[in-house]
């Protein structure tokens, strides 16, 4: 049975109902009786933010708190307010990150601990919740009431971790590995976004390293594991290339830096000349980068890729395109441009399945 300060909401998720009280108590614990002085602008932002928080206008409060943070206010109340707003608005990744940072500073703050555990349970991350609770229970300074609540949450987490996937569910997920229908695979991965994937993680890891499986589905699956903050090493194989990654550590902005840079250069080259040509080339490139993820495009020769994309987009639009002239325009070898066009064409074939 869950403690009295929690309730079960849809799909078995757990959340705390007394967020306002937790906010007030944790805020006071963080201030430790000190008076924090703000410049007039920050003071006004804080007044507006706390008024919005009290009225449960979390989007409005988040806007004011982000503005205060951008002005350099990294005080405990601001960071806690941001965590509360993110939690209430369903931005669980940011809420978890912020609360983890606050707990590093105040490991004995029971209100922060309960909010942090609530997020883990809300997102069905029962294994991590169990680990956090067990670690907290080692502290002798816990109050009797908090210790009892944590024991109840521990029993709940253990129960959820001990669940075995029904045979029918195993069969459904195994279709991901066996079905030749890519649309069915993509639909199944989409459904897994709402489920606890821990019981089927071995099957998902097996799919990522199977060379014959859909590269597009692998991208979607890897993003799923990143969203679920899977902290295990997985092997991804695509197009004869192999890479070991930890999904929770993947930074998509970093992984796709070359693709993003080339998209900007593509706009400089084609947008003014022909908006439709640019849009078509950009769509081809974005599909290619998506299917290739997390691998970077090879070679890292922007000019060669620009030439290939220009030629491919022209063909898609039914325009005359002289391959040799385009190669000269971008200063690349025609043979290299043709090789990259073939790569792009293969991905277009995959994307159309």
Q: Which residues contact 302 (CB under 8 A, 6 or more apart)?
A: 258, 261, 262, 265
- Domains in the chain (CATH in brackets) are 6-161 (1.25.40.10), 167-248 (no CATH), 254-351 (1.10.472.10)
Q: Could you tell me the pLDDT band of residue 280, with boundaries at 50, 70 and 90? A: very high
Give the mean pLDDT of 29-41: 46
Say what the pLDDT of residue 199 is: 77
Q: Measuring CA to CA, which residue among 306, 299, 301, 313 is closest to residue 348?
A: 313
Give the mean pLDDT of 4-26: 39
Q: How many percent of the chain have pLDDT more than 70? A: 84
What are 5's two structure tokens?
């300060």
Say what the pLDDT of residue 4 is: 37
Q: Measuring CA to CA, which residue among 76, 72, 63 is closest to residue 27?
A: 76
* Bond into 294 cis (ω within 30): yes
156 has a pLDDT exceeding 90: no
d(CA 176, CA 182): 9
Cβ(306)–Cβ(340) under 8 Å? no
Q: Which residues contact 236 (CB under 8 A, 6 or more apart)?
A: 208, 209, 218, 222, 242, 243, 244, 245, 294, 295
- Tell me how many degrees the CA angle 4-199-234 measures, rounded to the nearest 5: 120
d(CA 312, CA 307): 9
12 has a pLDDT exceeding 50: no
What are 217's two structure tokens?
């589905």
Say what the pLDDT of residue 352 is: 67
Say what the pLDDT of residue 20 is: 44
130 has a pLDDT exceeding 80: yes
85 has a pLDDT exceeding 70: yes
Q: Could you tell me the pLDDT band of residue 19, with boundaries at 50, 70 and 90? A: very low
Of the listed ranges 7-21, 74-88, 123-137, 179-193, the least confidently predicted one is 7-21
Q: Which residues contact 245 (CB under 8 A, 6 or more apart)?
A: 222, 233, 234, 236, 294
Cβ(276)–Cβ(291) under 8 Å? no
- Give the 3-state secondary structure of residue 313: helix
284 has a pLDDT exceeding 90: yes
pLDDT digits (tens, 9 = 90+) for 159-178: 877 665 565 666 777 766 77
d(CA 87, CA 46): 19
pLDDT digits (tens, 9 = 90+) for 298-349: 999 999 999 999 999 999 999 988 999 999 999 999 999 999 999 999 998 8
């Amino acid at each position: 049975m869950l403690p009295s300060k929690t309730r079960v909401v849809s799909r078995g998720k757990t959340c705390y109902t007394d967020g306002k009280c937790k906010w007030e108590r944790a805020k006071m614990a963080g201030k430790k009786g000190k008076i924090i002085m703000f410049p007039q602008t920050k003071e006004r932002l804080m007044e507006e933010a706390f008024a919005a928080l009290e009225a449960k206008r979390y989007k409005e409060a988040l806007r004011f708190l982000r503005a205060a943070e951008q002005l350099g206010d990294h005080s405990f109340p601001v960071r806690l307010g941001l965590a509360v707003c993110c939690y209430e608005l369903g931005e669980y990744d940011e809420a978890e990150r912020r609360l983890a940072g606050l707990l590093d500073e105040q490991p004995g703050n029971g209100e922060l601990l309960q909010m942090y555990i609530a997020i883990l349970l809300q997102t069905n991350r029962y294994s991590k919740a169990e680990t956090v609770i067990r670690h907290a229970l080692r502290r002798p300074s816990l109050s009797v009431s908090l210790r009892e609540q944590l024991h109840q949450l521990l029993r709940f987490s253990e129960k959820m971790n001990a669940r075995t996937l029904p045979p029918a569910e195993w069969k459904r997920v195994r279709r991901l590995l066996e079905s030749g229908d890519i649309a069915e695979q993509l639909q199944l991965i989409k459904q897994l976004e709402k489920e606890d994937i821990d019981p089927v993680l071995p099957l998902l890891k097996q799919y990522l390293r199977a060379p014959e499986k859909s590269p597009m589905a692998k991208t979607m699956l890897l993003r799923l594991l990143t969203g679920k903050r899977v902290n295990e090493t997985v092997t991804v194989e695509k197009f004869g290339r192999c890479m070991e990654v930890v999904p929770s550590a993947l930074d998509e902005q970093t992984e796709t830096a070359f693709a993003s840079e080339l998209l900007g250069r593509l706009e400089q080259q084609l947008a003014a000349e022909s908006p439709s040509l640019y849009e078509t080339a950009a769509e081809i490139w974005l599909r290619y980068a998506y299917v290739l993820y997390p691998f970077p495009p090879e070679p890292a020769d922007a000019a060669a890729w620009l030439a290939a994309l220009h030629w491919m987009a022209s063909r898609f639009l039914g325009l005359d395109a002289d391959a040799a002239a385009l190669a000269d325009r971008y200063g690349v070898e025609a043979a290299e441009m043709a090789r990259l066009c073939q790569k792009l064409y293969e991905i277009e074939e995959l994307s159309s399945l």
